[in-house]
Amino acid sequence: MPRLLEAVLGVGNDLELRGTLQRIVENAAALTGARYAALGVLAPGEDNGLAEFCTTGMPQADRDRIGHPPTGRRGVPGVLVHDRVPLRLTDLTTDPRSCGMPPGHPEMRGFLGVPLFVEDEVYGNLYLAEKRGGPFTAEDEQLVRLLAAQAGIAIGNARLYETARRRERWIEGAAAVTTALLTGEAAADALMTVAERARVLADASAGVILQPTDEGGMEIVTASAPVGVEGLVGTTIAPGSAVLEQLLGGEPVFLDDSATDARMTTPVRHRFGPSMMLPLQAEGRLIGTLALPRRRGAPQYSPAEKLLATQFASQAALALVLADAQQRRERLAVFEDRDRIARDLHDLVVQRLFATGMMLESTQRRTAAEERDAGVHATLGRAVDELRSTVQEVRTAIFALQQPPADAPTSFRGKVLRETAAAAAALGVRPSVAFTGPVDARIPDRVAGHLLAALRDALAAASRRSDPTRTAVTVDATVTLPDGRPGVRLTVSTDDDGGGGADDSGTGGRETTATWQSPL
């Protein structure tokens, strides 16, 4: 009795499940005087093989020689798995139900096996072999059954503790993902955050995000894995797959073995074993699917893990929707601000500049007619030209403000502005751009491509000059070529400080003008 009490007290000293199982094995061996002891944990499902095997008394070298532990599907371990009643044998090797020992296994004759119940369900079996001093007795069986009953309580407590810890980790993970997504991450970074965090929480080999394709299938767009991520991104599930129908319908899919499941059709399925595929769905909108495959031979996902992962996917989907809505609001605020600036420039600055220009032109005509002062006439002419140039540049700035900041320009004006903006870093100054005539309507695509190439060459040549102080780009779609055909002319003028920079011809100068023209 003192030994039994000591063993019972020792079993409940650890809240970690793995530590509790190992302590049960060691205490059972000490209580009965067994040389070898093991505890086999049943796998979930109808198959009920052994998912985990804890041992004591066997050196690591012997375990390495034996290799894979018993599966519990045949031999004496299989008898206990199916009958679920205590089994005591004097000579294990003579029992007709025995299937022998694997090569390298220590010799075992005396055997005692007892089922281990947790909350009225068989959790696993306790195996004892080779009692020192003789065969196992009825008293040994009774002691081990009492120990197993107390061990069931300890395992139940450890499972509750582990479930609580696991739930806490998933909740913390979901909160961390929500916080990260609402800080303004880009869409691709947000999906990677979800995949990475879910992979760690689920102890999976990979975390991948699939999104619907235009063809009706699904494609892996984001993948997180410690190793072996090559070949995952871009893999598709073809339309018509049974798995795909469930996912598009918003239903989770749980696979015992991705490599052998007939519903899986992807070329990378052979890499993985147990897997969860969870729809990312919020407010009736299917964003994609979160897949968490484990390596082949890894433990199956428990019902608690499936539930927690499903809840995490729902929370992550909601966070993605909220993050997207937040980014849209921020983008809308930027657009509204840009529209306001463009409107103010148009309504106030441009109109005032235009009115001032008209006043100067009127004054210029009067002074020219009266021929009072040639110097005043020239000064007014330069002022009018500067005002016209300023109006043109302000209009260009208004057009640039009206373009979406994150999208590639589709109009010809937008493409020219993008090229000049990209050249600003190399030039050291931002080029001014002026358009004459309806360039978007008059310049066809074939001419536009050649003009943009000529513009890039001219800007590259300008950047090689010595400290350019001003670069002006003009696109005129109203010119008439020498042969009488309508055309377009590109002019790129560059001023520098005269410090010896050379243009394409190899000569220095303060101003260089490059011209390109083409018929329309």
3-class secondary structure per residue, 149-179: HHHHHHHHHHHHHHHHHHHHHHHHHHHHHHH
DSSP β-bridge partners for residue 502: 508
Q: How far apart are CA 364 and CA 375, in angstroms?
A: 11
Q: Do 512 and 462 meet the contact criterion of CB atoms below 8 Å apart?
A: yes
Q: Do 488 and 520 meet the contact criterion of CB atoms below 8 Å apart?
A: yes
Q: Where are the beta strands (DSSP E) in 1-89?
A: 34-42, 50-56, 87-89
Q: How far apart are CA 292 and CA 209, in angstroms?
A: 9
Give the residue among 465, 457, 471, 463 at the shortest CA–CA distance from 426.
463
pTM of the model: 0.51
| Other Cβ atoms within 10 Å of 181 Cβ, number | 25
> In what order do the strands lie in the sheet containing 34-42?
50-56, 34-42, 121-131, 111-118, 87-89
Q: Do 451 and 443 meet the contact criterion of CB atoms below 8 Å apart?
A: yes
Give the residue among 14, 52, 11 at the shortest CA–CA distance from 144.
11
For the chain, the straight-line distance linking the first and the last C-alpha, in angstroms and rounded, comes to 105
Helix (H), strand (E) at residue 128: strand 121-131
Residue 71's SS3 state is: coil
**pLDDT tens track of the chain, all 520 residues?**
666 666 555 555 666 777 778 888 888 888 888 899 988 888 765 555 677 788 888 888 777 777 777 776 777 777 877 778 888 888 888 887 777 677 767 788 888 988 888 877 888 888 899 898 888 888 888 888 888 888 888 777 777 888 888 888 888 888 888 777 777 666 667 788 888 888 888 888 888 888 888 888 888 888 888 876 677 888 888 787 778 888 888 888 898 888 888 788 787 888 888 899 998 887 777 888 898 998 887 888 888 888 988 888 888 888 877 777 776 777 777 677 667 666 666 665 666 677 777 777 776 666 555 555 666 666 667 677 767 766 666 766 666 665 555 455 567 888 888 888 778 777 777 788 888 888 888 888 888 888 988 998 888 888 877 677 788 889 998 899 888 889 999 999 888 765 444 444 444 456 788 899 998 8
- The DSSP symbol for 300 reads P
